A and B are shown apart, each in its own frame.
Chain A
C-alpha cells in the first residue's frame, strides 16, 4: 500500500512557483522521501529525494518537515513542460520496490 497522501490535482500559473504537498505521517526513520514525475505515457522521471534535510537540485527543492511527517516539492518557476503527474514516495533503505500512489496531476496555466 502506498504510504503517502497527495491531492489528486493542482494547477499553477506559468512562471510561478509550484508547491506540491505530500503527507507521509507513518514514515519511519530509515525511509527516504522520493519524488518522481510522469509526463503523459512516458517513463517516470526522477526529480529529487531526501531523508531528513531539505534538498535542492537543478530541477526542484524538497522541504521536509522536522517531524518528517510531510514534505513539499517546489518547482521554482513552473513552465508548461512541467505539466505531469507527480508522485511522492517513501522508500525503505532496505527494500527493493518503489510503491507508487495515485500522485498529483499538476496543470500549468499559460
Chain B
C-alpha cells in the first residue's frame, strides 16, 4: 500500500465525451504525475504537477489537461474522448524540493481503467 488512491476504479464512456479522473497523493507529498498505460505496454508519462503548477509534459495533446489542488490531490481531464484513450490511467505521488529537480521516487496508485466505446 502506497497511500495513493485513485477514483473511480473503472469507467466506461463513449467517444466524444469528457472524463475526469481523481488522485489523492500520499501524505507529505507535493507532486503528482499522471501516466497512461495501454494494454500490453509500459506506462507513458502524461504530465506532472508540482505545487499546483504543471512541471513537465509528455507527448499528449492539449485535450489532456490537469489540475492540482492546495491539498496536493489532482485531477486528470480528457476531452473529446477517442477509442485509443482506452487504457489504465495511473497517478504517482512524490516529494520534490524544487521544480525540475527530478530523480525522486514516485509511488503509484492502483489506477483507473477507462474504456471508451
Contact = CB atoms under 8 A, between A and B. Distances in A.
Contacts of A32: 103
A101 interface: yes
Nearest to A91: B103
B36 to A, nearest CB: 11
Nearest to A95: B102
A92 B109 contact: no
B102 A92 contact: yes
21 contacts: A2-B42, A32-B103, A41-B111, A42-B110, A43-B4, A43-B90, A44-B92, A46-B2, A91-B102, A91-B103, A92-B103, A93-B103, A94-B102, A95-B56, A96-B100, A97-B33, A97-B48, A97-B56, A98-B33, A100-B35, A101-B42
Interface of B: 2, 4, 33, 35, 41-45, 48, 50, 55-56, 58, 88, 90, 92, 100-103, 105-111, 113
Interface string A69-102: 0000000000000000001000111111111111
The 4 closest A-B pairs by CB, nearest first: A100-B42, A96-B56, A43-B108, A93-B103
A91 B105 CA distance: 10
A46 B107 CA distance: 7
A30 B113 CA distance: 35
A32 to B, nearest CB: 6
Interface residues on A, range: 20 to 34
Contacts, number: 73
A45 interface: yes
Contact of A100 (B43, B100, B111): B43
A94 to B, nearest CB: 5
A45 B108 contact: yes
B111 A94 contact: no
Contact of B103 (A44, A95, A99): A95
